[in-house]
Structure 1
Amino acid sequence: MEYNVAVVGATGNVGQEMLNILNERLFPVKEAFAIASRQSIGREVSFGDRTLKCRDLETFDFSQVQIALMAAGGSVAKEWAPKIARTGAVVIDNSSHFRMDPDVPLVVPEVNAEAVRGFAKKNIIANPNCSTAQLVVALKPLHDAATIRRVVVSTYQSTSGAGKEAMDELFNQTKGIFVNDEPTPSAFTKQIAFNVIPHIDVFMEDGFTKEEWKMTVETKKILDPKIKLTATCVRVPVFVGHAEAINVEFEKPITDDEAREILREAPGLLVVDKREDGGYVTPVECVGDFATYVSRIRVDPTVENGLAFWCVSDNLRKGAALNAVQVAELLVNRGLLKAAA
């Protein structure tokens, strides 16, 4: 059986990755459609060895597709996801708009695959925040083994998480510094080249940023509402790949050796943890990979039943495009979609 698939926002970083991953994972695509804004009509994007010309979001007939992967931002998703869903297509949305809607499942296939069945209420499934996705993939098997009480996480998030203009800003500022050009922030609030910025998304009344809030509430929705989590989210001068330093307190005893073996057997994870120079994975090394990597697993002696570890993942992939395609695969493998005529 094959399916017609539309990628909305096909000219952006995540949209292009969605097309790449559909092709790489041999998703049963009968016909693929690249959808974008009116300004991008006719622009060409790659889909394997094929070239697709972008169609206009406002005039495209979504009744001809079974799956719509959306990577066009919250405002577009708010307006268009319900419209597309009403045509019969299942929308898998990468924006934050529907994540906390109680009638929209928030799905990470390695963590809460069963939740995907809830899509029927609105024909919409939400993708989590990029930093949340890799976090819960790593937490899930440990939670099953020893029950997580509390998580403290600090993120080191790449500029690609803020879009192409943010990546360009890092490139231009880095290049400019070498010729004594004064860095001028635009996509970010402060200089990003050779710097880190402890500020992602808007500030909230309690002093946390919305990115930090997202990690807290999304982890509760996906994994367990009883988990207490606090996050500090930081933008770093890296093009692709998010890293996280994670401290976890458990209800039951768990050793670092036990955790290492549990994580090695878990889906979507690769453990690279040698206690020697270079015996860990960095963001540069995870780019282009499907896996979430875990390194530096060790006992946290400051709390009872505590562990600390390091986690990295390609944020354009597991944090966005890959997760969306995996959700589409869930729908297909569980027989929840009708094939294309």
Structure 2
Amino acid sequence: MKNILIFILLIVIHTSYSQSVTISTTKYTVNQLVNQVLVNSPCVLSTNVISRTGTAFGSSNGIGYFENTNTAFPFSSGVVLSTGDVTKIPAPNTTILSDGFPAWSGDSDLEANLLSQSGITMNSVNASYIEFDFQPKTPSFDFYFLFASEEYGTSQCNFSDAFAFLLKDVTAGGSTVNLAVIPGTMIPVSVETIRNNTNNSNCPSAYPSYFGAFNGPGFGPAINFNGQTISMIASAASLDVTHVYRIKLVIADGGNNTGYDSAIFLEANSFNIGQDVLGLDYTTANKAAICPGNTLPTLSASGLDPATTFVWKKNGIVFSPTQTGKTLNLNTITPLVSSGIHTYSVTYKEPECIAVTDEIII
């Protein structure tokens, strides 16, 4: 009986790690990928959605929708943009992805930003992008992404493939900012800037804490790429909620070389341009945990319509007396916050919109 149980356990473990992502290029239009998959907010609509990929040049489709059940990959679903054929992304990792005709052009916006913001010269080819306008409901927004590439290993010592999340204030004009950078720096994410020299001893490691995995052959990984970063966050702050912004999500092969494809995976429902008004959790994972005795934050759901109504809860229970303001000062509410992990939430309803609940961990 013990041997049978061990065998069953091994089957379960193998199954959980052997699933591949699934890719669809037809389940959603690009507009739906933005407004139903990435944003998926009942009160926010992204407009002027445009895209381009290899199909415009008689080549591969580099834009698709993915789903995943493999625990070795952090996202369950979302949007993927590739410099090659997205239908070849599913595991096993047994082939080198090098799709895309030379006629499939690169992206001048990506090249210009890498040069102006990071001092990097790039000659791009095989670019895929989605861009759209939005008006944020809060002064900051964020979303989660993962970068994967066939360049990990053999070609990770030099800058080649690149991607960017290019944000521009349409109302005010001004410069374009790339949000796809290593936290706390202006360094763009690539195989050169995030790597582990265990996979190539010809160059030192670079920000290895952001490197996720070097994928071996077979069905262990969820994707058919040699390596991938951990789940990372792109964010922007000090936005003007009265302005319209435009963001371009773009990736391209570098060095005018169509070989060794790369991809960016964008987590579904994570593109926060209004639905998550409370911001990031105050946790050790976010390097924002609060030490005992320190001042607690004042939670704020500001930036919404002046006629918005609010109801605050702690651990799912409405405060008594009811807290209905747009802010909640954790230093003054009773009972006072004790040590431990606490979840606070606010349910807000703007005029002519359904109620939305956002929560934050302290």
TM-score, normalised with respect to structure 2: 0.23
Higher helix share: 1
Between the two structures, name the one with larger relative contact order (CA 8 Å, sep ≥ 6): 2
Higher strand share: 2
